[in-house]
Homo-oligomer: A and B are copies of this chain.
């Protein structure tokens, strides 16, 4: 059952979206509340699975020059098992099961095209039940965000938990 998020929660999320390591004291000062309250709220959001803090590395700057999304068709009656096997590969940073033309959408980061080819033939196609894979190589990434405001309808003012 999802947490109910109030106005304070949303302000905290908004602050941390910009800088995931912003000190709680700074957020507290901004919002004119006590740092302890911020800490308590953040803990509640983390415990409820609403929020997590991650370090994001930049593919190009860490030596990964080829990124791609791969649409995969696989044996339908073993979809979840096949998904887990593909997800276990180091090159895979994202895997969604989808409705539509493909069974999976798999995002990968590779050092270069030769690495991508090795990944496809030696790893992805080596998973039993993978039947077809269409690879969309990225030419440019225009937007990438990690957090966003909860929709208005889920934030009911006045029901702050503490």
Interface residues of A (CB under 8 A from B): 2-3, 5, 13, 16-17, 19-21, 48-58, 60-64, 67-69, 73, 75-80, 83-84, 87, 90, 92-102, 104-105, 109, 111, 113-114, 116-117, 120-122, 124-126, 130, 132-151, 153-154
Contacts and interface: CB of A to CB of B under 8 A. Distances in A.
Contacts of A68: 98-99
A125 to B, nearest CB: 3
B96 A99 contact: no
Contacts of A77: 121-122, 125-126
B95 A141 contact: yes
A102 B13 CA distance: 34
Contact of A51 (B55, B64, B125): B55
Given A20-B53, A96-B142, A136-B101, A151 B121 contact: no
A137 B96 CA distance: 9
A56 B135 contact: no
A17 B20 CA distance: 12
Given A62-B148, A97-B142, A102-B136, 11 more contacts: A13-B55, A20-B52, A55-B147, A69-B105, A76-B120, A77-B121, A87-B143, A99-B99, A99-B139, A113-B140, A117-B140
